[in-house]
Chains A and B, each alone.
Chain A
Amino acid sequence: MVGIVFVSADGGEREVEAPVGATVMLAAIRNDIRGIDAECGGSLNCATCHVYLDPACLPLVPGPSHDEAALLAHVSAERRPTSRLSCQIAIAPGLPRLRVALPEHQTCPF
């Protein structure tokens, strides 16, 4: 299990445990973390599970694929260098605790 700290847009924090093989998005849904919509269930269709990965965690996980980067160009909230789609951040064995911040909104106005 890997701990994931979700920091909400208003600064509140909650830590949950996620099993190896899951994703940050799945951990959020299973634990009813608000602020991640994940409309498509993690199939790279919707860009509604956007998070900001803590800069200290960036080197811990592989960077975004070409397709993820293409979708990140259309997220609803501000896009930052630390922006990721949480469905693409896999919980790998040996991963230390992750920290992600939630954007102010997900659902694109289209």
Chain B
Amino acid sequence: MPVLAGAVAPRGASHHLVVVGGSYAGLQAVASARESGFGGRVTLITAEDHPPYQRPPLSKAYLLGKVAEDALPLRAESFYRDAAIDLVTGCRVSHLDPVRRTITCGQDRPMPFDALVIACGARARRLAVPGAELDGVVVLRDLADARALRERLTAATSVLIVGGGYIGLEVAASAASLGKPVVVLEAGPRLLARAVPPQISDHLVRLHRRRGVTIRLGTGLDRLDGEGGRVVRAMGSDGARYPCDLVVVGVGAVPNVDFAQACGLATPAGIAIDAFCRTGMEGVYAAGDCTVQPNAFADSPLRLECVQNAMDQGRSAGAAVAGRPEPCPGIPRFWSDQFDAKLQSVGLSAGSDLSVSRGSSEEGRFSLFHFRQGHLRAVDSVNRPGDQIIGRRFLAAGLSPTPDQARDPAFDLRTLLPVS
């Protein structure tokens, strides 16, 4: 296990670990700190009114009414009690004093810390078009958003989705599954352009259109019109009018770095951390969607928005706090469910020079294996989860099949992996 010189972290009983942010990264940080032997006081602070809960179902099973709220918590209440974690809800941190080593929520007294993990996540980016403030224009980021959206979706007669990214497409699929007319406006030339290669984008367009979703590519939003304060129609950059009484905006997220920025820990792009999730400040770590971290899969540091990155970084930060630093694995992993398609990615396909497919798009089950100079860089899959876990193992081990082996469905890729 790598140990850093001079990185002896506070872990005695008198030490206080404060974790700001109650989602995957924050929760994983406190759990991992305890599992790694941190014996001091632990406080987990969240701005929301609930203990940490699952987010992926919010745009899918929860919207469809297939998952109830009581199935969402990530841990049982007894977890916090048994692990001696003080869970503070409804508390938004407004100030970090790096000299006194305190953090402050609103008007509360400053809370001293010995170690701090900042895991504040990101918030939905808002639209900057006329009419964006109208009633009926919503975003989806947290449980409060999801509750509101679920209610509005029931009553909606036509739904407009702005943005063909993960959130937009998942909500589009959920709304269409509920029988609602749905239009997706995507300003770029294809769906999920930042995340997946063109073959997957094309597959998704066909999938959504087959299920009745109208997809308009290369079409931005010029303006939203309202009546009596409520949205009634959208004007697309294609000059068309789209009637709608519910607009879901899924145009990306911006990191929550306000208080970290105020004390010089962050830029608007995020909080810079190293492989061990350390910031530039002694004893202060950061994890999850608010961070920017060097990554072996990219030429410059990355801000990743995904559950797996949040958990990996939370685990690394928690272990470091307990004095057992371990670097983050840093293998990007994403997934999304839309209709009956399970979309998964491991690694980053950008920068690859050869892609081969395994399975076929026509059958609705295929993977793309991406190579650079003959070496595996990423795997994108639709309904082939087995390929994902194999891809993950290849990437983690620094191994690669040949492109011919990857494209031959009769070849068992597992035979190339070390026996686990």
Contact = CB atoms under 8 A, between A and B. Distances in A.
Interface of A: 22, 26, 29-32, 39-41, 43-45, 47, 67, 70-71, 73-74, 76, 108-110
A39 B383 CA distance: 19
Interface stretch (B127-135, B213-221, B247-255, B391-399): B391-399
B385 interface: yes
B36 interface: no
17 contacts: A29-B74, A29-B76, A32-B76, A32-B82, A41-B54, A41-B57, A45-B335, A45-B344, A70-B384, A70-B385, A71-B389, A73-B386, A74-B389, A76-B420, A109-B396, A110-B393, A110-B396
B335 A74 contact: no
Interface residues of B, number: 35
A70 B82 contact: no
A110 B54 CA distance: 23
Contact of B329 (A31, A71, A110): A110
Contacts of A67: 342, 383-386
B174 to A, nearest CB: 15
B46 interface: no
Contact of B386 (A26, A40, A71, A109): A71
Interface in B115-129: none
Quick one: which of A41, A74, A108 has the most chain B CB within 10 A? A41
Contacts of A40: 307, 335
B241 interface: no
A109 B71 CA distance: 28
Contacts, number: 68
Interface of B: 54, 56-57, 71, 73-76, 78-79, 82, 307-308, 311, 329, 331, 333, 335, 337, 342, 344, 383-386, 388-390, 392-393, 395-397, 414, 420
A75 to B, nearest CB: 9
A22 B61 CA distance: 13
B304 to A, nearest CB: 16
A74 B333 CA distance: 17
A41 B79 CA distance: 17
B71 A74 contact: no
A66 B333 CA distance: 22
Nearest to B333: A45
A74 B389 CA distance: 7
A32 B78 contact: yes
Main secondary structure of the interface of A (DSSP, over half): loop
Given A22-B71, A110-B395, 16 more contacts: A29-B75, A29-B76, A30-B71, A31-B76, A32-B79, A39-B307, A40-B335, A41-B56, A43-B337, A44-B342, A67-B383, A70-B384, A71-B386, A73-B414, A108-B393, A110-B396
A43 B335 contact: yes
A32 B78 CA distance: 7
A107 to B, nearest CB: 9
Given A31-B76, A39-B311, A41-B54, A47 B389 contact: yes
Contacts of B76: 29-32
A30 B74 CA distance: 8
Contact of A43 (B56, B73, B78, B414): B56
A32 B80 CA distance: 10
A110 B337 CA distance: 23
B138 to A, nearest CB: 23
State the 6 A-B residue pairs at the shortest beta-carbon distance, nearest first: A70-B386, A110-B396, A32-B76, A74-B389, A32-B78, A41-B54
A35 to B, nearest CB: 12
A17 to B, nearest CB: 13
A36 B392 CA distance: 20
Contacts of B337: 43
A71 B56 CA distance: 20
Contact of B342 (A43, A73, A76, A110): A43
Quick one: which of A31, A74, A76 has the most chain B CB within 10 A? A74
Contacts of B397: 110
Nearest to B54: A41
Given A32-B79, A110-B329, A44 B392 contact: no
Contact of B392 (A29, A30, A32, A110): A110
